[in-house]
């Protein structure tokens, strides 16, 4: 077993595709496939299985990849310490629902790491893909929410995937609107107040179940509804169309400015934002710093 083989395996897990990993790792696809097969034969474990979407780690492979990442991180530290003294590349990946405060924590982590070179990933993506990313260790950490409506379904999926949910904070529902929207002047908005305004939500693709929705009260009928795939587009539509979306109430003016405001929504519903991870995960340095920044920010919230 060589470090190169471990890098190949971790690369395939990260990209979820032999072809893409081969291109990124500057190796031919047949050679990469052979290297993975030889590694699997040596350790007596099938690390990956092929699916219609590419490849994904097996249960045994997920455990092996966790150890492989630790070995590679330590090897990078050794190389940088004893070869040329340069700091190691800080490589970590986070998958999340569309939360600006997660971006803020990611920015702070990158700044604190202050590495001369690094390669990181922040994936704002669909709920099901967040779970898949963490299950297959494309990401060390995933950020999503649970409430009374989706908890049983999401927790069953997490349990089946061998993942755990760790809470960050509990929030009451708010509507995000532009500062010029008439709703912005209200101390509290009712569901009836939203009638007639465009409802903006994040599309969930193939797994478009109400239980995967990023917005609570997803089963309510709306006269006007717009699905989007990224946060910047959603915020632009909030401003341009006087739309609204239902979220946590956490607005980070450092990234969003003062154009978006959060108005409490008169609902008994509440939800818990947290992160998912492999149990007993030994995080990379970058992921540890990110979690530190994220938890510090959440501790300041008064919701």
HEC string for 35-92: HHHHHHHHHCCCCEEEECCEEEECHHHHHHHHHHHHHHHHHHHHHHHHHHCCCCCEEE
274 assigned to some structural domain: no
* For range 117-122, the mean pLDDT: 86
What CATH number does residue 248 fall under? 3.40.190.10
Among 135-149, 207-221, 273-287, the least confident range: 207-221
Q: Is 302 inside any structural domain?
A: no
Question: Cα–Cα distance between 293 and 17 in angstroms, integer?
Answer: 32
Per the CB < 8 A criterion, the answer to whether 142 and 131 are in contact is yes
Q: What share of the chain is helix, strand, coil (3-state, %, to 5)?
A: 45, 20, 35
The answer to whether position 20 is within a domain reads yes
- Is residue 253 over pLDDT 70? no
| H or E stretch covering 236 | helix 231-240
Residue 281 lies inside a defined structural domain of this protein: no
Reported confidence tier of residue 89, pLDDT bands at 50, 70, 90: low
Boundary residue ending a domain (85, 115, 144): 85
pLDDT (average), residues 223-247: 89
Residue 255 has pLDDT above 60, yes or no: no
Asked which of 68, 85, 102 is the last residue of a domain, the reply is 85
Q: Name the residue with higher pLDDT: 268 or 123.
A: 123
Q: How does the average pLDDT of the chain come out, rounded?
A: 87
Section 249-264 average pLDDT: 73
pLDDT in tens, 204-220: 887 777 888 888 777 77
Give yes or no for residue 127 having a pLDDT over 60.
yes
- When mean pLDDT is compared across 78-92, 154-168, 263-277, the lowest value belongs to 78-92
Kindly state the average pLDDT of the residues 79-96.
71
Q: Which of 62-66, 75-79, 214-218 has the lowest mean pLDDT?
A: 75-79
Residue 152 domain-assigned?
no
pLDDT at 88 over 80: no
Contact assessment for residue 215 and residue 247, using Cβ atoms and an 8 Å cutoff: yes
116 φ, ψ (degrees, to nearest 5): -65, -35
Structural domain including 3 reads: 1-85
Q: How many angstroms separate the CA atoms of 151 and 178, rounded?
A: 30
- Does the residue 176 lie in any domain? yes
Q: Which residue in this structure is represented by tokens 């008439």?
A: 182
Mean pLDDT (whole number) for 116-128: 88
Percent of the chain clearing pLDDT 90 (strictly above) = 37
Q: What is the pLDDT of residue 169?
A: 93
User: Which pLDDT does position 152 carry in this prediction?
Assistant: 94
Rg over alpha carbons for the chain, rounded to the nearest Å, is: 21
Decide which of 63, 85, 107 is a domain's last residue. Answer: 85
- Indicate the number of domains in the chain: 2
**Has residue 167 got a pLDDT over 90?**
yes
296 in a structural domain: no
Find the CATH number of the domain harbouring 40: 1.10.10.10
- Structural domain contains residue 289: no
Q: For residue 44, give both structure tokens.
A: 């007596």
Query: Region 105-122: what's the mean pLDDT?
Result: 88
Mean pLDDT of 123-148: 92
pLDDT at 141: 95
Burial string for 254-288 (b: 16+ CB within 10 Å, else e) reads eebeeebbbbebeeeeebbbbbbbbeebebbbbbe
Average pLDDT over residues 221-226: 84
Q: Kind and range of the H or E element at 145?
A: strand 141-147
Strand ranges (E), 194-270: 199-202, 225-228, 245-247, 260-264
* Spatial contact of 189 and 197, defined as CB atoms under 8 Å apart: no
């Amino acid at each position: 077993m060589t470090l190169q083989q471990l890098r190949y395996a971790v690369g395939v897990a990260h990209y979820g595709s032999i072809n893409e990993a081969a291109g990124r790792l500057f190796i031919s696809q047949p050679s990469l496939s052979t290297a993975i097969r030889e590694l699997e034969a040596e350790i007596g474990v099938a690390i990956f299985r092929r699916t219609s979407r590419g490849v994904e780690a097996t249960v045994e492979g997920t455990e092996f990849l966790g150890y492989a990442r630790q070995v590679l991180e330590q090897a990078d530290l050794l190389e940088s310490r004893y070869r040329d003294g340069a700091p190691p590349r800080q490589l970590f990946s986070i998958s999340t629902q569309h939360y600006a405060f997660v971006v803020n924590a990611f920015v702070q982590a990158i700044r604190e790491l202050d590495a001369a070179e690094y390669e990181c990933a922040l994936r704002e993506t669909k709920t099901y893909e967040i779970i898949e990313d963490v299950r297959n260790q494309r990401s060390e950490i995933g950020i999503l929410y649970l409430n009374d409506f989706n908890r049983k379904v999401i927790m069953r999926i997490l349990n089946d995937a061998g993942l755990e949910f760790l809470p960050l904070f509990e929030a009451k529902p708010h509507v995000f609107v532009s500062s010029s929207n008439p709703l912005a002047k209200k101390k509290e908005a009712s569901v009836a107040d939203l009638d007639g305004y465009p409802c903006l939500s994040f599309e969930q693709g193939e797994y478009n179940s109400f239980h995967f929705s990023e917005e609570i009260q997803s089963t309510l009928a709306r006269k006007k509804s717009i699905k989007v795939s990224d946060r910047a587009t959603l915020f632009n539509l909030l401003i341009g169309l006087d739309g609204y979306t239902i979220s946590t109430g956490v607005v980070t003016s450092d990234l969003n400015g003062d154009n978006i405001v959060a108005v409490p929504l008169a609902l008994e519903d509440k939800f818990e934002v947290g992160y998912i991870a492999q149990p007993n995960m030994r995080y990379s340095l970058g992921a540890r710093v990110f979690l530190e920044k994220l938890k510090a920010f959440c501790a300041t919230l008064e919701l």
